Structure 1
Amino acid sequence: MDLFEDLPEPSCAPTELPTRPDAKRRRQEEEEEVQLERKKVCNKGVPVLRGYVGSRQGERDEMQDAHVVLPDLTEHLTTPPTQVCGVSYFAVFDGHGGARASRYAAESLHLNLARTFPRRSSENLDKLIKKCLLDSFRQTDEDFLKKASSQKPVWKDGCTATCLLVVQNTAYIANLGDSRAVLCRMEEEGEERRVVSRALSREHNPTLYEERIRIQRAGGTVREGRVLGILEVSRSLGDGQYKRCGVISTPDLRRCSLTSADRFILLACDGLFKVFTAEEAVKYVFGLLQEDGSGTNEEGRYEAACQRLASEAVRRGCADNVTVILVSIGF
């Protein structure tokens, strides 16, 4: 007999074991204290985030992009930190060589993140979150490469990644490859306010000095702006055949405190930025949001702006896949 075979479903709901009144009361009091502590934190300027997605296949035979929108990541955390209120996660993955790497990353990266997310608030929370992000990227890459190498024929897919993790009012951006994250912020200029775009990510192109040196030291070459004359990016998830040539899965990490001056964050694959500069994209969306939206609520305006941005990229001649995530910031 298999000692680990599935047990039959219970015929009725299990009854709780009797609990001593004093122990039960203490447990309730502890839970109430935790909830009160979270409410205190939530009242201290924690932004409300909402995500909207626009996606177009372009002229490609296959949609190789993938995305994740989780305004509330806490439901995936096994033990959320008691003094942390509000954990959100948004990500866009741009696949190449196939869609398997991007889909795998969309399914797995946030779960790896949830498993290693700090369980207690501390003075070192910032360092712990950064370590959590680095470990999650490494684990996701290792797991996908292991799966890819076991296939016949071996999968050769890879993907870029741009992830936004917001903990309370602090945004952590982890990216590798050429997808980007851009912040729209209102800044004072004399007596006027103007729209500015702030880059929250860094592109990883093999022509960049640091990237090229690492690739060459690993025995690879950069020809015509590509690794071995083939791969356009110098960091990615997957791409097992290029790992020995210096292509790594370590993301760049940036941190940004969100304030009431911030309007939205734009995450997008390079398909958008082939026909828009970051500043143009931010101003285009901001202009759409400012248009007279009689009869349209705020969510409707953001949704429409996101869809129009993706469509405009195709109209301007982008033949690549285009995926845009627009994250609204409200205080």
Structure 2
Amino acid sequence: MGCWEEIQLRHTIEELLVETIFYQDWFRAKEVQWHNNALETASDRETWSPPPQGFMKCNVDASFRQQANLNGMGLCIRDYIGKIVAIRTNFRHPCLPVLEGEVWTLASTITFSSILGLHTIIFEVDCKMIVDRIIKSTTMDKSELDSEHRARHHWEKRFRCWGPRVRVSERCGMLHALMSLIARCWKPFGHGDDAGNAAAGRECKDGLLWFRDIGKFAAGDFSMAVVQANQVIEDQSQIESGAFGTFVGVYDGHGGPDCSRYVCDNLFRNLQAILAESQSVVTSEAIHQAFRRTEEGFTALVSELWSSRPQIATTGTCCLVGVICRQTLFVASLGDSRAVLGRRVGNTGGMAAIQLSTEHNANFEAVRQELKELHPNDPQIVVLKHGVWRVKGIIQVSRSIGDVYMKHAQFNREPINAKFRLPEPMNMPFLSANPTILSHPLQPNDSFLIFASDGLWEHLSNDQAVDIVHSSPCAGSAKKLVKAALQEAARKREMRYSDLYKIDKKVRRHFHDDITVIVLFLNHNLISRGAVLNTPLTIRSALDH
């Protein structure tokens, strides 16, 4: 057990109990296997083989507990001499079918490896069908993939089978490319074209613009679009629709993509687990708990990675969540993303724009007053710098998930960048992860909902956005909003949209932010009947565009 002493594991009691159950199931299964293999010779038995020098190996396995409706996963990363680098367990609710669960396990492992900054790594799994599916989907011949001569190319993926196990190796830091390949090859996982789920609509791309013009969710139709400006996109978003209702999330990250990706991976999963534990429907308190659990999980991840990746402590994300359940809409917000309702005005044919979310940005007088009341002895709690109000002169938003350097004193020190370090002691958190939640009973004249990151609202007003959606076909409405914002961004810089379109990511950030837009068109006949999709809908915007 000495190898475990180096790993700081921070889990909730509930997670530890679930993981203990999975371990017990795994151990009993192994006992049966060992008994059945008792007559094997030593040469027949499978042993761990080290990776080549300079590589690491990650052994990963999935487990399925049907009665508890849970998937589990465990991984162990070792270097070429066998020293353990990292150990991790995780679980999700509800339980996926076996093959989808295996893909979720491998994808989660790749994401974790990327967060650790491990790029020369061999993944060893025991589900040959996953790798066969990836090989089948590629245009290259398998013998080409196996060839060592592929190493001289810019990057390489190899899939090789050793007995009952499969190795997936990856070079040159292309973990996200491998994630994208898995997503394309395994449609039910919830990414890619979702060929097995016609409700998701068709995924398209136009330069830095990613979009689904139209798709169906339990309460109507949706349109979705994202445009990238940063070198690595920091916005993430998702739509989940099933028996519980519909969940929409827009996560506008800052300081890097780590926190927004973590929230996109975990916030909805935490809400599902809370609803399963309480065996109840969605409530404001359940959403509060999901936000709190997600914040605690990310803080634990920062602590775990502090010695190897301390800068993750300076990443954070605004969160905008909408949940439709039993004719009630819940809107939860942290930061300055915004949800706007388009409501029909009588029989006039007009459409009113009603903002549903609360924004937590120090440029609002009410937010500055709130901060001053919380920190009466700190005259520098909000500082005006270059015409912009910032908390402690550093960050505009007053509420977020992440940004732990502004919440916990142990993370506001070297080796994080000096511009984030405060000169005075931190006696209490400067930022909060407590969301503002609105509960809105849906009315027949509620026509559509716009959920968007602040990249849209920097260029369009609520009324302008609602007018664009109201005067346009449903299909492509999110894309039309994004393009309207880009046209306005180009106009402000006295340039043409066609010229802005040619500017690549990173440089594009000088003209506009990452922009995410999701539009939900409400069908009140479906809402009143409590209709659900035959197949649950899971969509997440691409990790990179």
Same fold per superposition (TM over 0.5): yes
Per the alignment, residue 170 of structure 1 pairs with 328
- State yes or no: 1:192 paired with 2:313: no
Per the alignment, residue 83 of structure 2 pairs with none
Kindly provide the amino acid, as one letter, of the partner of residue 321 in structure 1.
D
The separation in 2 between residues aligned to 1:177 and 1:214, in whole angstroms, is: 19
Kindly provide the amino acid, as one letter, of the partner of residue 300 in structure 2.
K
- The offset of 1:285, in angstroms, is 1.2
Per the alignment, residue 151 of structure 2 pairs with none
| Residues 211-241 of structure 1, C-alpha deviations (whole Å, 9 max, x = no match) | 3225534856211210121111000000001
The separation in 1 between residues aligned to 2:298 and 2:377, in whole angstroms, is: 22
- State yes or no: 1:7 paired with 2:29: yes
Per the alignment, residue 62 of structure 1 pairs with 232
- The offset of 1:56, in angstroms, is 0.3
- The offset of 1:245, in angstroms, is 4.0
The separation in 1 between residues aligned to 2:374 and 2:289, in whole angstroms, is: 22
Per the alignment, residue 522 of structure 2 pairs with 329
- The offset of 1:6, in angstroms, is 6.7
The separation in 2 between residues aligned to 1:261 and 1:308, in whole angstroms, is: 23
CA gap of 1:135–1:210, structure 2 versus 1, over 3 A, is: farther
Identity across aligned pairs (percent)?
26
Per the alignment, residue 440 of structure 2 pairs with 256
Kindly provide the amino acid, as one letter, of the partner of residue 134 in structure 1.
H
3-state SS of 2:345 partner: strand
Task: Indicate which of 480, 485, 491 corresponds to 1:308.
Answer: 480
Per the alignment, residue 222 of structure 1 pairs with 382
Per the alignment, residue 105 of structure 1 pairs with 263
CA gap of 1:129–1:210, structure 2 versus 1, over 3 A, is: farther
CA gap of 1:5–1:139, structure 2 versus 1, over 3 A, is: same
Per the alignment, residue 131 of structure 1 pairs with 285
Per the alignment, residue 109 of structure 2 pairs with none
The separation in 2 between residues aligned to 1:5 and 1:245, in whole angstroms, is: 43
3-state SS of 1:116 partner: helix
The separation in 2 between residues aligned to 1:218 and 1:158, in whole angstroms, is: 26
Scaled by the length of structure 2, the TM-score of the pair is 0.46
CA gap of 1:261–1:116, structure 2 versus 1, over 3 A, is: same
Per the alignment, residue 319 of structure 1 pairs with 512
The separation in 2 between residues aligned to 1:6 and 1:197, in whole angstroms, is: 59
After superposition, where does 1:270-309 map in structure 2 within 5 Å?
270-289=454-473, 302-309=474-481
The separation in 2 between residues aligned to 1:5 and 1:284, in whole angstroms, is: 59
Kindly provide the amino acid, as one letter, of the partner of residue 336 in structure 2.
D
Per the alignment, residue 235 of structure 1 pairs with 399
Task: Indicate which of 347, 372, 375 corresponds to 1:213.
Answer: 372
3-state SS of 1:288 partner: coil
- The offset of 1:167, in angstroms, is 0.6
| Residues 143-194 of structure 1, C-alpha deviations (whole Å, 9 max, x = no match) | 1011012212321210000100111210001101000101111022xx6232
Per the alignment, residue 292 of structure 1 pairs with none
The separation in 2 between residues aligned to 1:176 and 1:276, in whole angstroms, is: 20
Kindly provide the amino acid, as one letter, of the partner of residue 223 in structure 1.
V
Structure 1: gaps (5+ residues): 11-46, 75-85, 290-301
Q: Which fold has the larger relative contact order, with Cα–Cα distance below 8 Å and residues 6 or more apart in sequence?
A: 1
Kindly provide the amino acid, as one letter, of the partner of residue 375 in structure 2.
Q
- The offset of 1:308, in angstroms, is 1.5
Kindly provide the amino acid, as one letter, of the partner of residue 212 in structure 1.
L
- State yes or no: 1:143 paired with 2:297: yes
Per the alignment, residue 241 of structure 2 pairs with 71
Per the alignment, residue 33 of structure 1 pairs with none
- The offset of 1:312, in angstroms, is 1.9
Contact 2:223 2:477 in 1 (8 A): no
- The offset of 1:319, in angstroms, is 1.1
Contact 2:338 2:357 in 1 (8 A): yes
Count the aligned residue pairs: 264
Q: RMSD of the TM alignment (CA)?
A: 2.5
The separation in 1 between residues aligned to 2:514 and 2:377, in whole angstroms, is: 31
Q: Which has the larger radius of gyration?
A: 2
- State yes or no: 1:180 paired with 2:338: yes
Scaled by the length of structure 1, the TM-score of the pair is 0.73
3-state SS of 1:70 partner: strand
Contact 1:65 1:99 in 2 (8 A): yes
